[in-house]
Amino acid sequence: MSNEYYESPLSSRYSSKTMQRLFSLDYRCHIWRKLWVELARAQHELGLPVSAEQVAELAAHTENIDYELAAAKETELRHDVMAHIHTYGECCPKAGGIIHLGATSCYVTDNGDLIIYREALIYLRGELIKVMQNLAAFAERYKALPTLGYTHGQPAQLVTVGKRACLYLQDFESDLAELDHLLATLRFFGSRGTTGTEASFMSLFNGDTAKIDAMNEMIAKAFGFGSLYSVAGQTYPRKEDSRIMNVLSNVAQSAYRFAGDLRLLAHMNQIEEPFEKSQVGSSAMAYKRNPMRCERICSLARYVMVDALNAPLTASVQWFERTLDDSANRRISLPEAFLGIDAVLRLMKNVTSGMVVNEMVIAKAVERYLPFIATENLLMSAVKKGGNRQEIHEIIRRRSMEQSARLKLGEECRLLEALAADEAFPLNAAEIAALIRPEDFIGRCIEQVTDYLKHLDLGEPLVDEEDQINL
């Protein structure tokens, strides 16, 4: 690896080899050649002057790409697709004259992109499911562990650690549904000519529109697509890129929420991300346990969310049948978004598989605030014992304000003792203590987690990726 020139950190540090391979020049060019093979095969079967021998020759040379020759041709022709057509023709002398017959450059570039995006989405789907499986196991394990809930960032009623995990899991479930819908509705572009009218094929097939349709359907089927766009310009609709980038952004949003919350919980020493035995938290402060994985998740997720804005901005300025101001932007924005969310999910897998729950710290926080949380139950019990509701409420309010002030001075909360010692309060210390059990203040958390997980259908990962990086 050379250190002389810039290299995207997404490739050198964060993303998987699988995703890097999908967006490599080599993989893209192999897809192009396979597209040319299937175009020739369909044209042969539909009666155009393309022989079986020519198709076989093309099929036999999809792997041996001379990139030096292609680069020289591109310097000469100033056109990347034409450079690869000539390069392909050099190793296929019999078929060189029929490569790309009737097609325009977008036949290989746009269909190639759609094929790569679909494969990348399928891979990401498997990674997302693994994250969800980790969260589901975590939610089940801690569904009954009471913890302090927060609204507005302030202490609120109790929830459970597992119940909160279901909030994140539900976000990812929504993302999975959007991803599945995208995969189910992703269409093939086909070979539509320079302005999408298929005029070149009208000439080749002597106006036989059924054969033109058959050609496109045959090519689409060869690459596993069940449908094509009804109409198109020179390119597939750039709105499709917006749909793709929106799905990636949605996953980034969910990951950011999870990682952001875990950073806050780590600040309170309640739940932490995995920390390796020899891991260094700070070069200066040796005691530090920085949540660096979650910080990285947030950093990369923020990049993907912002990057996703490129697609709608590009889709909105496609003049008439096409303009080329989309090309340079798409070459960067779409691959980098895929590599970015791939990196996010790899980190998410690592974090969700080994979160450290400090139960004693959580219990201490619950103990500190539970007296305030329990005041409504205490009020009801005091009234049942004969107290006046308004008078009891005032006693609780006054004593709560006193004890809240103590907490802000760094002192211990003595609310329960203060109420028991108040002669006007109907409940004694033993009766109050019987009403202060954390598990009585978590509502339906356990039931909600159990029911949610029972109906959660994650399916199975579609790709088993063994590739690992140093997280």
Write out the catalytic residue numbers.
Answer: 152, 282
Gap between the Cα atoms of 217 and 229, Å rounded: 11
